């Protein structure tokens, strides 16, 4: 129980809102992308600025409340919300300041990548964010940040120049290569373990209009199309970042009949530029077979940021499994195709990303906390379904696919695609033993009481 007077006092001191279970907006505040996660916090602070974050954090400490931090709530594991504790919700913090000549942008912690690239588009600039527009800048960057510019410009976190951070003791500090550089190292991959970032500064890149899209093939051609994609990716320049997907086309009445609701293979990508060099690079992908549709075209980058949104509808129950791929053999492709033929939900996608052989690997492994820059391909199955009665069937299918894929997967995974049941084994797969040890030492320095533990939690060194 928290004293009413204390809550009233906190409320009066916040510029943003403080929500309790009976308040309007409470249910929206506690909701996250994955509707399987239903938690009921005692309090939600919808922070307007860094000072609100400090006040909320100090209140949580004083009242011994579990803290969770919400960027936009897209993490499938649902760590943004907690039961009975205090959600520090950053989603109202939407400030974006573009320095076009300097090619940088300052971004509030509540922004999505769609909002950032909308602000950059008039300057023909783009940020290296994610593959969709709706995900939060915060969680995506702090864990990594794979997106349509990854092979050319690296991860979102590779483009982070500085961050403003509220530490566990309530101090506000800067983190960059020149200020608190150890914290800056940990923020780039260590997730929300070390503090609450209220503002990011990123390097951004000329983009404007780029050649982007997807070629769609019938599922009956899946094996051959995926093999063809694999061969294409072996030679494609790093200007092109792309992936292959097995999915169902939406039941869209405006779509032509062969596509509507059909199981398909999508070979998608973005060339960081347009014109003859772009056309030439993408031509082999477009030339293969007889596609149901070829949607590649010159597109403003902020629209590109939205082109995959349809594949991840909101309001779904989600269970994801992911790992880097060590062997993208014909046998691995067969496993994917055979399992997708039995997929229980039309909202589920199997995704292969080609993120490597470019800028991601040029950053030395030791330069950031992000783990495993050396695996060029990533596998993720994004299981999603609408009816809670179907949960067991979908989770079982997802685990079955993952188990069948194990012989082809590396013992290494991307932390942001975790679903929440990975435990310490998952932490080791995300970082490796050496990095995990360094992260634990940093945790001891910046958050010795493990205040920030609603995350892929790195525990302080002494409890390792």
Ligand X SMILES: Cc1cc2nc3c(=O)[nH]c(=O)nc-3n(C[C@H](O)[C@H](O)[C@H](O)COP(=O)(O)OP(=O)(O)OC[C@H]3O[C@@H](n4cnc5c(N)ncnc54)[C@H](O)[C@@H]3O)c2cc1C
Residue 322 in contact with ligand X, rule: CB under 6 A: no
Looking at the Cβ atoms of 89 and 239, the one nearer to ligand X is: 89
Residue 455 in contact with ligand X, rule: CB under 6 A: yes
Residue 188 in contact with ligand X, rule: CB under 6 A: no
Residue 380 in contact with ligand X, rule: CB under 6 A: no
Looking at the Cβ atoms of 139 and 189, the one nearer to ligand X is: 139
How many residues bind ligand X, per CB under 6 A? 37
Contact yes or no for 243/354 (Cβ under 8 A): yes
- Give the number of residues written for the chain: 464
Residue 131 in contact with ligand X, rule: CB under 6 A: yes
**Calpha distance 319→90 (Å, rounded):** 25
**Calpha distance 303→209 (Å, rounded):** 9
DSSP output for 299-366: EEHHHHTTTTGGGS-SS-EEEEEEEEES---HHHHHHHHHHHTT-S-TT-EEEEEE--SSHHHHS-GG
Most distant pair of Cα atoms in the chain: their distance: 69
Contact yes or no for 10/51 (Cβ under 8 A): no
Which helix (DSSP H) or strand (DSSP E) does residue 97 occupy? strand 96-99
Residue 74 in contact with ligand X, rule: CB under 6 A: yes
* Shortest Å distance, C-beta 144 to ligand X: 5
Span interacting with ligand X, options 13-21, 23-31, 190-198, 388-396, rule CB under 6 A? 190-198
Q: Which of 371, 416, 455 is nearest to 193 (CA)?
A: 455
Looking at the Cβ atoms of 135 and 162, the one nearer to ligand X is: 135
Residue 356 in contact with ligand X, rule: CB under 6 A: no
Pick from 67, 69, 328, 337 the residue near ligand X by CB under 6 A.
69
Pick from 85, 114, 190, 192 the residue near ligand X by CB under 6 A.
192
Q: Which of 107, 91, 90, 85 is nearest to 41 (CA)?
A: 85
Residue 189 in contact with ligand X, rule: CB under 6 A: no
Pick from 41, 85, 130, 371 the residue near ligand X by CB under 6 A.
130
* Shortest Å distance, C-beta 36 to ligand X: 12
Task: State phi, psi for 403 to the nearest 5 degrees.
Answer: -60, -40
**Calpha distance 430→439 (Å, rounded):** 12
Looking at the Cβ atoms of 131 and 271, the one nearer to ligand X is: 131
Looking at the Cβ atoms of 145 and 273, the one nearer to ligand X is: 145
Enter the DSSP assignment of 370. -
Residue 413 in contact with ligand X, rule: CB under 6 A: no
Binding to ligand X by CB under 6 A, coded x per residue (else -) over 81-120, reads ---------x------------------x-----------
Residue 41 in contact with ligand X, rule: CB under 6 A: no
Looking at the Cβ atoms of 329 and 457, the one nearer to ligand X is: 457
Residue 328 in contact with ligand X, rule: CB under 6 A: no
b (16+ CB within 10 A) / e for 162-177: bbbbbbbeeeeeebbe
Contact residues: ligand X, CB under 6 A: 33, 68-76, 79-80, 90, 109, 130-132, 135-136, 138-140, 142-147, 191-192, 196-197, 312, 416-417, 454-455
């Amino acid at each position: 129980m928290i004293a009413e007077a204390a809550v009233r006092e906190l409320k009066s001191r916040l510029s943003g809102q403080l929500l309790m279970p009976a308040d309007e907006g409470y249910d929206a505040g506690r909701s996250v992308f994955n509707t399987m996660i239903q938690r009921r916090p005692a309090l939600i602070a919808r922070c307007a600025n860094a000072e609100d974050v400090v006040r909320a954090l100090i209140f949580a400490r004083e009242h011994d409340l579990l803290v969770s931090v919400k960027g936009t709530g897209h993490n499938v594991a649902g760590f943004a919300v907690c039961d009975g504790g205090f959600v520090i919700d950053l989603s109202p913090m939407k400030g974006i300041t573009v320095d076009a000549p300097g090619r940088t942008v300052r971004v509030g912690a509540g922004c999505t990548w769609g909002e950032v690239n909308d602000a950059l588009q008039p300057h023909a600039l783009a940020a290296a964010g994610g593959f969709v527009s709706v995900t939060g800048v915060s969680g995506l960057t702090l864990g990594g940040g794979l997106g349509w510019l990854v092979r050319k410009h690296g991860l979102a976190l590779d483009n982070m120049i500085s961050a403003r951070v509220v530490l566990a003791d309530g101090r506000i500090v800067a983190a960059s290569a020149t200020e608190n550089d150890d914290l800056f190292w940990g923020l780039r991959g260590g997730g929300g373990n070390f503090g609450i970032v209220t503002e990011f500064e990123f390097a951004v890149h000329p983009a404007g209009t780029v050649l982007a899209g997807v070629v769609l093939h019938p599922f009956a051609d899946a094996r051959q199309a995926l093999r063809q994609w694999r061969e294409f990716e072996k030679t494609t320049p790093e200007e092109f970042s792309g992936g292959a997907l097995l999915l169902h086309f939406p039941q869209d009445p405006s779509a032509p009949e062969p596509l509507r609701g059909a199981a398909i293979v999508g070979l998608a990508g973005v060339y960081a530029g347009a014109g003859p060099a772009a056309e030439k690079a993408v031509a082999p992908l477009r030339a293969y077979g007889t596609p149901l549709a070829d949607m590649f075209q010159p597109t403003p980058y902020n629209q590109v940021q939205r082109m995959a949104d349809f594949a991840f509808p909101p309001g779904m129950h989600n269970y994801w499994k992911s790992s880097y791929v060590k062997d993208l053999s014909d046998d691995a492709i067969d496993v994917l195709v055979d399992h997708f033929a039995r997929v229980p939900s039309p909202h589920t996608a199997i995704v292969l990303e080609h993120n490597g052989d470019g800028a991601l690997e040029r950053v030395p492994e030791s330069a950031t906390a992000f783990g495993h820059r050396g695996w060029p391909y990533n596998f993720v199955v994004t299981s999603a379904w609408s009816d809670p009665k179907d949960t067991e069937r979908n989770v079982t299918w997802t685990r079955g696919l993952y188990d069948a894929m194990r012989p082809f997967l590396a013992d290494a995974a991307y932390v942001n695609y975790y679903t929440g049941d990975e435990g310490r084994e998952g932490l080791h797969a995300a970082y490796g033993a050496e990095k995990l040890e360094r992260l634990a030492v940093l945790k001891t320095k910046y958050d010795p009481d493990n205040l920030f533990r609603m995350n892929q939690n790195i525990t302080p060194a002494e409890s390792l």
